[in-house]
């Protein structure tokens, strides 16, 4: 299970250091993380990446970039190379977030090039997909499946990815999309990847005003959460890890019961 947290442009460098130091302490003792049932993934702003990594150097916390450029080298002023991100120690790269699409004009073609750049440099892309307006779950799933396939268009062969389902209409709102809607869309996304060789191992996480309580409501419908402002409080982050541990325990108990019945 993945519990990702993006700082977007909310936290400055001192606040980032403080948050990461607190989360490092949590990760080093929390049963969900110590047992490797959960991988915490932090997406700080790029200028704070170094101090964030230093604060978590002795903790089981992975890091990702909030963006990357589609080319590794060249005359691209202000761009960030996936090669440099990998060299810094990043494991993941977020690609295609709705805010990148809205404010920076990124379309499916750009997202696909960035996904390829991440894979080329050994980074696992967190591909953000989601419908713009509320509507039936089957229509949302069809839209997301099409958006995901477009995001993978530049890959010549399957590669590890994390799919972040983030309905645009839920981002920044007071609460997440309903559990029923998210579960139905997540199933549709996974079904759309059935022809991929690694489809069974591709996690789908939920983002979009996810908060404490969201993971419990979703149950086994997703493989984790992609959190924003509601996890900038480290106490809330730990509460979400508690929920993850509870769910993992229930899954394990269910697996044991199934084995005994066989």
Catalytic residue list contains 97? yes
The residues that bridge with 42 in the sheet, in sequence order, are 5, 63
The residue annotated as part of the active site, out of 30, 94, 97, 181, is 97
- Kindly report the number of other CB atoms within 10 A of residue 74's CB atom: 8
- For every residue of 119-172, DSSP letters joined together read HHTTPEEEEEE--SS---HHHHHHHHHHHHHHHTTT-SS----EEEE--GGGTT
Q: Name the 3-class secondary structure at 5.
A: strand
The residue behind tokens 């190379």 is 81
- Annotation says 18 is catalytic: no
Cα separation of the two ends of the chain: 26
Distance, in Å, from the CA atom of 117 to the CA atom of 133, rounded to the nearest integer, reads: 30
Distance CA 49, CA 26 (A): 19
Backbone angles phi, psi at 15, to 5 degrees: -70, -35
Q: Which two tokens stand for residue 58?
A: 């002795």
Catalytic residue among 166, 181, 238, 243: 166
Nearest residue to 69 (alpha-carbon basis) of 77, 54, 80, 55: 80
DSSP for residue 92: E
| Displacement of CA 117 from its chain's centroid (Å) | 18
Cα 136 to Cα 17, 141, 181, distances in angstroms? 42, 9, 8
Active site residues: 97, 166
């Amino acid at each position: 299970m993945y519990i990702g947290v993006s700082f977007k442009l909310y936290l400055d460098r001192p606040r980032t250091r403080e948050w990461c130091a607190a989360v490092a302490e949590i990760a080093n003792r929390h049963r969900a993380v110590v047992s490797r049932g959960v991988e915490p993934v932090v997406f700080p702003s790029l200028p704070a990446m170094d101090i964030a990594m230093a604060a978590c150097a002795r903790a089981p916390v992975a890091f990702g970039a909030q963006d990357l450029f589609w080319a590794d080298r060249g005359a691209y002023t202000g761009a960030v190379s996936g090669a440099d991100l990998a060299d810094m120690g990043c494991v993941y790269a977020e690609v295609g977030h709705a805010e990148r699409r809205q404010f920076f004009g990124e379309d499916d073609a750009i997202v696909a090039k960035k996904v390829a750049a991440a894979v080329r440099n050994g980074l696992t892309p967190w591909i953000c997909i989601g419908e713009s307006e509320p509507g039936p779950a089957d229509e949302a799933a069809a839209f997301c499946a099409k958006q995901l396939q477009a995001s993978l268009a530049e890959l010549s062969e399957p590669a590890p990815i994390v799919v972040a389902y983030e309905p645009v209409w839920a981002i920044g709102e007071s609460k997440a999309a309903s559990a029923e809607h998210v579960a139905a869309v997540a199933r549709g996304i996974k079904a759309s990847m059935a022809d991929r060789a690694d489809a069974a191992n591709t996690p789908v996480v939920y983002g979009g005003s996810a908060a404490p309580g969201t993971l419990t409501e979703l149950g086994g419908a997703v493989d984790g959460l992609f959190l924003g402002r509601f996890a900038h409080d480290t106490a809330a982050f730990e509460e979400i890890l508690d929920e993850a541990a509870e769910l993992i325990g229930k899954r394990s108990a269910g697996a044991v019961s199934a084995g005994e019945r066989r």
